[in-house]
C-alpha cells in the first residue's frame, strides 16, 4: 500500500540482516557510569547523610502574583510547531545516520575507532568493502523514510524543515524577549544552580518536590532544563550541523574545530538529538505526572483550568496529526519521491545557491593531517574497455572533452600532465556521513576550460564514468561551470603523492571541494559541456540524483 518495490529495489532496501545492533566502547560505559555517580550517586549520599535539602519551590507555591501569567497564543503555536519539526528532524536524521552507522571523534572515520556503531561488521582488510556496502537497515517506524540506502529522501525531509525549524526558533526567542515570557525561562541569578540541585535530589531519591503551578512558575530544575534545550541544544545542533557541510568546512575550517573535528561535530549532532529525545520523554512524563489535564490546558488553550478536558483533547489531536503526517510522509517517500527532491531543490537548492555555494575553498590541511584510512565508495568498472586500459596502466587512455566548446579535444594522461598540476590536501565529505583528509594532485579544471573554450551558453559540466551506479547504468554527475573554476577543482591522477589507484578512481577522478563526495566522479571516461543538466540522464543532474534522489547542488 505504501511502498511498491521492484525485485531490484527489494534487494537494496531489505538486506538479509535487518537487526538493530548497538555497540559501544567500554570507555563510553565508564563515562556514563561516572556521570550517574556524580549526579544520582551524590544526590543519594547527600540524602542519606544530611536528609532532604530545603525545597526551593516552597516559595513559589503561593506566587499567583508572579510577573508572568499564562501562555500567550504565539508561545503555544511555537511550542507545537517546534515539536512537530523536531520529530521530523529526529526521524529523518536517524535514517541519514544509518547510511553510515558509525560515529567517531577522529576526522578520518577509521573503522575500529568508533565510539558508537550500529553495525556488527568488522571491515575486512583484504577485500574491498565500500561505505555503500556498510550501510544498514533502519525500520521505517524509527526512521523517515527508513529501510536501507534512503539517505537522499531522508536528507530531503531533514533539510526542507531545517530553515523553518530555525525560523520558528528565532520567532520564539524574539517574542520571548519582546514580552515578559523570558522571565520564566532565563535564570537571572546563580541561585538557580543550588536550587536546581536541591530539586534534583528530591527527584533522584523519589521524594517528589512541591509542584509550583507552571502557569506562573517553573521549579528551578525545570527552568534550567527548558533554558538548556532552547539556548544550548538548539545552537549546538545548528553549529554542529553546519560543520558537516563541505561548502562551509572547506572555507571556514575553524567551525568543525569547535567540536574537535568534522566527525566530532557529527557525533555531537547525534548526541544533541539524543538529548532532545531524552528531554521529550522526560518532559512528557512530567507533564503527565504533575496534573496532565491542567498542564494541557496551559499549553494548548493558555488557560489555567484544572477540570476541562479540552486541552487534553487538543494535545491528543496534535499527536494524531503528527502520526498521520508520518504515515503520509512514508507514502510520499515511496510513491512521490520526486516531490521531496523537488521541494528540497526549491527550498534548499536555492538557499545554498545564493549563499554558501558562493564561498571559495581555502587551503588548510597539512601533510600530517592526511587520514590513515579513506573509505572507498562506488562500483569498480566492469567494462572490457576499462579493464583493457587498466591492464596497460592507462597508456592508451584518451579523455574526450566535448559539447558546447570551441575546441573539443581528446587527451592522453601524458598530454594532460603536460598542461599543469595543482596539489591540494582537502577533506572529503561523503553524503553518507564519513570523511577523510587526503592529498590530490592533478590538472585544474580551469586549465581545461581555457583549452577547450566553452561557449557562453555552457553553464554545466558533465563527467561520465566507466563505472555504474547502484542500480546499474552509467555513473555520471554534473557541476556548475562556476564551481569547476574554483580553487581545488581538479582532475586528479594522484592521491597521497602516489599515482591514483584503481579503487580510488584511476585513471582520473574529480575533486570539487565545496561539494559532497558523490559529485566527485571516479574512473572518468569523458567530459561534456552542456547548457543544462536537464538534458542528461533522467535530467536531475547525476546518477545519484536520478536514481537515489540526491541533491543537484551538494553543498551540505
Ligand atoms: N564512478 C563513480 N564515481 C564515484 C562513485 C561511484 O559510485 N561511481 N561514488 C562517489 C561517492 S558516493 C564517493 S563518497 C566518492 C568516494 O571516493 P573514494 O572511493 O575515493 O573515497 O566517490 C564518488 N565517485
Ligand atoms: Mo559518497
- Domains located in the chain, CATH noted: 7-100+135-353 (no CATH), 362-548 (3.90.420.10)
Task: List the residue whose alpha carbon is closest to atom 11 of ligand 1.
Answer: 518
Q: Residue 265 pLDDT more than 90?
A: yes
Q: How far is the CA of 327 from the centre of ligand 1 (A)?
A: 33
Burial annotation 482-493 (CB, 10 A radius, 16+ → b, else e)? ebbbbbbbbbbb
Residue 240 Cβ < 6 Å to ligand 1: no
- Say whether pTM exceeds 0.75: yes
Q: Is 101 in the pocket of ligand 1 (CB under 6 A)?
A: no
- Going by pLDDT thresholds of 50, 70 and 90, the confidence category of residue 290 is very high
516 CA to middle of ligand 2, Å? 7
Cα–Cα distance for residue pair 147/152, rounded to 1 Å = 12
Atom of ligand 1 nearest to the CA of 510: 24
pLDDT of residue 274: 98
Question: 521 CB less than 6 Å from ligand 1?
Answer: yes
Listed in sequence order, the residues at least 6 apart from 165 whose beta carbon sits closer than 8 Å to its beta carbon are: 82, 85, 86, 89
- Residues 384-443 pLDDT 10s: 999 999 999 999 999 999 999 999 999 999 999 999 999 999 999 999 999 999 999 999
- How far apart CA 117 and CA 103 sit, in angstroms, is 6
Specify the pairing of strand 460-468 against strand 498-499.
unpaired
For atom 20 of ligand 1, the residue with the nearest CA is 504
Nearest CA to 386 out of 278, 263, 536, 508 is that of 508
Ligand 1 pocket mutation pick from 244, 517, 549 by most atoms within 8 angstroms of CB = 517
Average confidence (pLDDT) over 262-269: 98
- Percent of the chain past pLDDT 70, that is, above it, reads 99
463 lines ligand 1 (CB under 6 A): no
Rounded CA Rg of the chain: 27
| pLDDT band with cut points at 50, 70 and 90 for residue 65 | low
Quick: pLDDT tens for 517-550.
999 999 999 999 999 999 999 999 999 999 999 9
> Which numbered atom of ligand 1 lies nearest the CA of 436?
21
Strands (E) located in 470-520: 474-480, 490-495, 498-499, 509-511
Q: Name the average pLDDT for the chain.
A: 96
Q: How confident is the model at residue 5 (pLDDT cuts 50, 70, 90)?
A: confident
**% of the chain surpassing 90 pLDDT:** 95
CA of 549 to the centre of ligand 2 (A): 13
State the pLDDT at residue 62.
67
Torsion on CA atoms 124, 129, 133, 134, rounded to nearest 10: 50
**Residue bearing the CA closest to ligand 1, atom 12:** 518
Q: What's the pLDDT score for residue 66?
A: 61
Q: 234: closest CA among 286, 145, 171, 190?
A: 171
| Range 133-162 average pLDDT | 97
The pLDDT assigned to 70 comes to 92
The per-residue DSSP string of 287-336 comes to HHHTTHHHHHHHHHT----SS--HHHHHHHHHHHHHHHHHHHHHHHHHH-
Q: What is the pLDDT of residues 237-259, one digit of tens each?
A: 999 999 999 999 999 999 999 99
pLDDT in tens, 78-95: 999 999 999 999 999 999
First-residue to last-residue Cα distance in the chain:
33
Ligand 1 atom closest to the Cα of residue 132 is 12
Of the CA atoms within 13 Å of residue 484, those in its CB half-sphere come to 26
Can you tell me the distance from the alpha carbon of 262 to that of 357, in angstroms, rounded to the nearest whole number?
Answer: 19
Closest ligand to the CA of 377:
1
Nearest-CA residue for ligand 1 atom 23 is 518
Residue 251 C-alpha cell reads as 572555507
Please give the average per-residue pLDDT across 482-491, as a whole number: 98
352 Cα: distance to centroid of ligand 2 (angstroms): 19
pLDDT at 164: 98
Amino acid at each position: 500500500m505504501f511502498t511498491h518495490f521492484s525485485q531490484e529495489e527489494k534487494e537494496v532496501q531489505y538486506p538479509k540482516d535487518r537487526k538493530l545492533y548497538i555497540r559501544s566502547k567500554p570507555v563510553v560505559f565508564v563515562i556514563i557510569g561516572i556521570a550517574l555517580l556524580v549526579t544520582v550517586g551524590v544526590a543519594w549520599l547527600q540524602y542519606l547523610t544530611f536528609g532532604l535539602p530545603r525545597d526551593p519551590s516552597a516559595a513559589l507555591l503561593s506566587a499567583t502574583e508572579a510577573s508572568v501569567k499564562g501562555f500567550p497564543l504565539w508561545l503555544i503555536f511555537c511550542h507545537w510547531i517546534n515539536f512537530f519539526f523536531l520529530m521530523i528532524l529526529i526521524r529523518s536524521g536517524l535514517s541519514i545516520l544509518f547510511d553510515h552507522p558509525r560515529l567517531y571523534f577522529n576526522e578520518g572515520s577509521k573503522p575500529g575507532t568508533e565510539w558508537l556503531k550500529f553495525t556488527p561488521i568488522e571491515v575486512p582488510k583484504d577485500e574491498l568493502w565500500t561505505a555503500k556496502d556498510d550501510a544498514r537497515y533502519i525500520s521505517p517506524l524509527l526512521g523517515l523514510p527508513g529501510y536501507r540506502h534512503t539517505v537522499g529522501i531522508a536528507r530531503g525531509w531533514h533539510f526542507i524543515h531545517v530553515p523553518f525549524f530555525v525560523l520558528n526558533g528565532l520567532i520564539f526567542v524574539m517574542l520571548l524577549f519582546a514580552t515578559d515570557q523570558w522571565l520564566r525561562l532565563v535564570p537571572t541569578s546563580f541561585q538557580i544552580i543550588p536550587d536546581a540541585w536541591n530539586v534534583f535530589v528530591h527527584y533522584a531519591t523519589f521524594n517528589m518536590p512541591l509542584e509550583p503551578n507552571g502557569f506562573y512558575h517553573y521549579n528551578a530544575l525545570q527552568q534550567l532544563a527548558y533554558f538548556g534545550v532552547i539556548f544550548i541544544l538548539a545552537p549546538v545542533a545548528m553549529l554542529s550541523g553546519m560543520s558537516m557541510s563541505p561548502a562551509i568546512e572547506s572555507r571556514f575550517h575553524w567551525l568543525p574545530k569547535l567540536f574537535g573535528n568534522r566527525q566530532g561535530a557529527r557525533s555531537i549532532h547525534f548526541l544533541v538529538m539524543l538529548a532532545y529525545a531524552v528531554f521529550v520523554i522526560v518532559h512528557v512524563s512530567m507533564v503527565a505526572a504533575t496534573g496532565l489535564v491542567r498542564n494541557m490546558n496551559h499549553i494548548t488553550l493558555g488557560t489555567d483550568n484544572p477540570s476541562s478536558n479540552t486541552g487534553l483533547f487538543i494535545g491528543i489531536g496534535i499527536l494524531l496529526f503528527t502520526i498521520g503526517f508520518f504515515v503520509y510522509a512514508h507514502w510520499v517517500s515511496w510513491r512521490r519521491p520526486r516531490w521531496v527532491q523537488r521541494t528540497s531543490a526549491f527550498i534548499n537548492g536555492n538557499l545554498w545557491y545564493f549563499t554558501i555555494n558562493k564561498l571559495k575553498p581555502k587551503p588548510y590541511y597539512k601533510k600530517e593531517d592526511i587520514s590513515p584510512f579513506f573509505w572507498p565508495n562506488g562500483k569498480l568498472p566492469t567494462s572490457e574497455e576499462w579493464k583493457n586500459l587498466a591492464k596497460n596502466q592507462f597508456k592508451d587512455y584518451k579523455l574526450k572533452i566535448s559539447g558546447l566548446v570551441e575546441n573539443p579535444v581528446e587527451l592522453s594522461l601524458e598530454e594532460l600532465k603536460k598542461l599543469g598540476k595543482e596539489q591540494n590536501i582537502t577533506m572529503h565529505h561523503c553524503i553518507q556521513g564519513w570523511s577523510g583528509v587526503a592529498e590530490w594532485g592533478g590538472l585544474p579544471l580551469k586549465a581545461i576550460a581555457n583549452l577547450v573554450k566553452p561557449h557562453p551558453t555552457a553553464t554545466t559540466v558533465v563527467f561520465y564514468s566507466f563505472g555504474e551506479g547502484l542500480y546499474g547504468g552509467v555513473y555520471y554527475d554534473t557541476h556548475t561551470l562556476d564551481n569547476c573554476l574554483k580553487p581545488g577543482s581538479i582532475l586528479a591522477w594522484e592521491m597521497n603523492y602516489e599515482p591514483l589507484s584503481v579503487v580510488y578512481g584511476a585513471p582520473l577522478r574529480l575533486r570539487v571541494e565545496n561539494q559532497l563526495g558523490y559529485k566527485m566522479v571516479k574512473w572518468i571516461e569523458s567530459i561534456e559541456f552542456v547548457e543544462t543538466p536537464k538534458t542528461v540522464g533522467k535530467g536531475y543532474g547525476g546518477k545519484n540524483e536520478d536514481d537515489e534522489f540526491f541533491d543537484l547542488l551538494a553543498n551540505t
